[in-house]
Amino acid sequence: MPILVVGGHTRSVGKTSVVAGLIAALPGFHWTALKITQYGHGVCSANGEACDCATADHSWAVSEEKDRSGESDTSRFLVAGADHSWWVRTQQGHLAEAMPRIRKILASTQNVIIESNSILRFIKPDLYLTVLDPRTADFKASAQTFLDRADAVLLHSVANPNRPAWESVSLKSVIDRPMFTIQPPNYVTPEVVEFVRAHLSVVFNKPAP
């Protein structure tokens, strides 16, 4: 069962678009998609604003998406072609409490694509892609922690990528990794698709679907 994780250094850099793009480009995998959202102090990590992510009686919640309108991120995954889509919501620092439920989902499906950085604390995926935008200064601690585990970098095309807006963050740990230039709205290029297909074919030990 291949597990593909897509992370990024902050919100609004295209993580969801990458996940949806890969689901659409590789339909033969019959993906189960998960989006992990962490919240705290009334603020959501998805957009930095007050939200309805928090649950009234638990520190975490897991719900299966059924809506196919494309209005939410998890709905976009279904529209892209995912067989199933799940939204995992946890308080900051409480992802461990949701892991038994997440592992149950993982055990019941064949191919999984997860939008998250923090999930890497608990699982070792077969492939981890990180999305970086040099124009955006914020760089999450979780993204810094796991940057050296990235198998490839999806780098937004900018005028001067050698002078990123973020400070005190070095890309030396991924300098030798495959790096794909992306330019919205084309978040998933043919080169990215073929990289993922080829990498996961090794997991299958046969040509990937």
**For the segment 51-71, what is each residue's pLDDT rounded down to a tens digit?**
454 455 567 889 999 988 888
Model confidence pLDDT, tens digit, residues 130-147: 999 998 889 988 899 999
CA angle 60, 100, 46 (to 5 degrees): 35
Task: Specify which residues 39 forms β-bridges with.
Answer: 44, 91
pTM for this one? Answer: 0.88
pLDDT higher for 168 or 82? Answer: 82
**What mean pLDDT is predicted for residues 104-128?**
94
pLDDT at 161: 66
pLDDT higher for 150 or 68? Answer: 150
pLDDT at 45: 42
Residue 206's pLDDT band (cuts 50, 70, 90): low
Q: How far apart, in whole angstroms, are the C-alpha atoms of residue 4 and residue 175? A: 21
CA nearest neighbour of 173 among 195, 151, 158: 151
CA nearest neighbour of 112 among 24, 34, 16, 15: 34
Instruction: Indicate the residue type of 141.
Output: A
Is residue 172 a part of any domain in this protein? yes
Residue 43's pLDDT band (cuts 50, 70, 90): very low
Q: How many domains is the chain partitioned into structurally?
A: 1
Pairing, β 127-132 against β 43-44 = unpaired
Is residue 68 a part of any domain in this protein? yes
Q: How far apart, in whole angstroms, are the C-alpha atoms of residue 125 and residue 3? A: 5
* 39: pLDDT strictly greater than 70: yes
The 3-state DSSP class for residue 37 equals strand
Pairing, β 32-40 against β 112-115 = parallel
Neighbouring residues of 23: CB distance < 8 A, sequence distance ≥ 6: 29, 31, 33, 77, 80, 81, 82, 113
pLDDT at 52: 53
> Cα torsion at 20, 25, 30, 33 (round to 10°)?
-20
Q: How far apart, in whole angstroms, are the C-alpha atoms of residue 115 and residue 118? A: 9
Strand ranges inside 56-102, DSSP E: 60-64, 84-91
- Residues 132 and 153 sit within 8 Å (Cβ to Cβ): yes
| Domain harbouring 54, CATH code | 3.40.50
- Residues 68 and 20 sit within 8 Å (Cβ to Cβ): no
Model confidence pLDDT, tens digit, residues 2-23: 899 999 998 889 999 999 999 9
* 91: pLDDT strictly greater than 50: yes
Task: Quote the domain boundaries for residue 103.
Answer: 3-204
Is residue 59 a part of any domain in this protein? yes
Is residue 209 a part of any domain in this protein? no
- Residues 12 and 47 sit within 8 Å (Cβ to Cβ): yes
